[in-house]
Structures are given as C-alpha cells and as structure tokens.
Amino acid sequence: MDLFSGIAYNYKGLKLGVKTPSLLFLGLVRFVVVVAITIASAGLVLSYYHEILGLIWGRPESSWVVWLWHLVSWLVALLLVGLSSVVSFLVSQLLFSVIIMDAMSRITEQRVTGQEKEAQRMPWLKHFFYLLKQEIPRAVIPVLIALILMVLGWLTPLAPVITIISSLAAAIFLSWDNTDLIPARRIEPFGSRFKFLLKNLSFHLGFGLWFLIPGLNIIFLSFAPVGATLYYIERIDGETPQL
C-alpha cells in the first residue's frame, strides 16, 4: 500500500541522510535555521506582549473580572507565539530552507543515479528567485488551509474531528513540500504538480505520519528531502538506485 510505502521512504531517507556527510550537514543546518528563526520571532513578539495586550484589553480594576483578564492574557500569549511560529516557518522556508532542501535533493539524485536531470541550467541568482516563486504557493496554500480548518474548529462543535483532519492535512502538505522538489526543479507547471499530490495522497499521508510524532518530527523534517527524492527517482522516474 502507498501509505506504508510513504512511511518506509521517509525512514529510508533518514538513514541515507545520516550516513552521507554532506546530507547530514545540510540537514543539521536546516534544523538550526528553523529553530533559530522561530526563537527569535517568538522572543520579538513576546517582548511587545504587554503593549499588544493593552491595546486589546487593559487590566480591569474589579477583582471580579481580573481572573477573566488573566485567562485572556494567556490565550493572547499562546496565539502570538503560534502566529510567530507560522510566520517563522514561512520565512525560513522561503529564504533558507528552499535552498537547503533543493541542495539535499540534488545531492541525493546525483548519489543515487550518478546524474542530475534538470530542464535547463540557470545562473545562481535566477535559480534562487525561480525556487522562491515555486515555494510561495507550495508554502502559503497549506498554511491557508490549516487556518481555515482552525477557524472551523473554533466556530463549530466538531473541533476534535477538525483537529485530527487539520493534523493529517498538515502532514500531507509537508510531505508534498519535499516530493515537489524534483518536478519544481525540472520546471513542471504548478498545476500538474498539484495534480501529482492529489493522485498520490495516500503516499504523502504515510510519508508525513512521522511529522506528527513529537520529537521525531523535527528529525524527520530535517532529512525529508532525501526520502522524497528517493521516492521520486524510484517510483516516478522508474530508475534503479545505485547506492
């Protein structure tokens, strides 16, 4: 089944990434970049926390209401940290991870097949902006869907079910962020790449289940480009790996 195949390929990519020095280095760099930007963003937001809370609701004088104010203040803090994490992820993806992920995919393809298939060669700067343009819809669309599901969870009594659905959707889109590296590099149209995702939802769900396990998710996310590239080479291109 494609679901179990997705689970296996992500694990397979992690093993290859850890054993290959260049992939291990890039995976660790990606991990450090994402964590550093997230911490910096959360720290910046929380430094203005009291000013933001004051604009929303000043501390009441009545002791009968102040408990509600404390509850709202905690919710505002959690919301600000959550939003800063989302923004940090988008910034790190668009400005840093897109280059690191593409480099990891290229190294994997060269190591496995001995060559790299690419539609055309581009100057470095042009290539960077091309990858950036490809990454914007690939990063923004999942976040928008997650936010829509989150709002539905708030406004309907189906919050537990929607929470599960949103988690699975996030896993699928995070998987696609990696399996889309090769077709994006080969300049395939975005529409055809999105159809590829819809056609292989079961695989992407299995590949992304690792991302839902606290602790392990950070490790598997850091090396996911390796397993996704292996999958594309073996299952889509139909090439036999030369590991």
Could you read off the pLDDT of 96-117 as tens digits, one per residue? 567 788 889 999 998 888 776 6
Over residues 141-161, mean pLDDT: 67
Give one DSSP letter per residue of 177-191, joined into a string. Answer: HHHTHHHHHTT--HH
Quote the distance between the C-alpha of residue 183 and its chain's center.
Answer: 17
Q: What pLDDT is stored for residue 212 in this prediction?
A: 79
Over residues 3-26, mean pLDDT: 92
Check: CB of residue 208 under 8 Å from CB of residue 159.
no
- Cβ neighbours of residue 163 closer than 8 Å, sequence gap 6 or more: 153
Higher pLDDT, 144 or 143: 144
Mean pLDDT taken over the chain: 77
Helices (H) and strands (E) in the chain, counts: 11, 0
Q: What pLDDT is stored for residue 165 in this prediction?
A: 78
Query: Which pTM value belongs to this model?
Result: 0.71
Q: What pLDDT is stored for residue 235 in this prediction?
A: 85
Decide if pLDDT at 203 tops 90: yes
Q: Confidence band (pLDDT; 50, 70, 90) for 19?
A: very high
Decide if pLDDT at 229 tops 90: yes
Check: CB of residue 230 under 8 Å from CB of residue 224.
no
Over residues 149-161, mean pLDDT: 66
Residue 117 carries which side chain, given as an amino acid letter? K
Could you read off the pLDDT of 22-72 as tens digits, one per residue? 999 998 888 887 777 777 777 777 777 667 666 666 676 666 667 776 677
Higher pLDDT, 11 or 51: 11
Over residues 169-178, mean pLDDT: 84
Decide if pLDDT at 242 tops 60: no
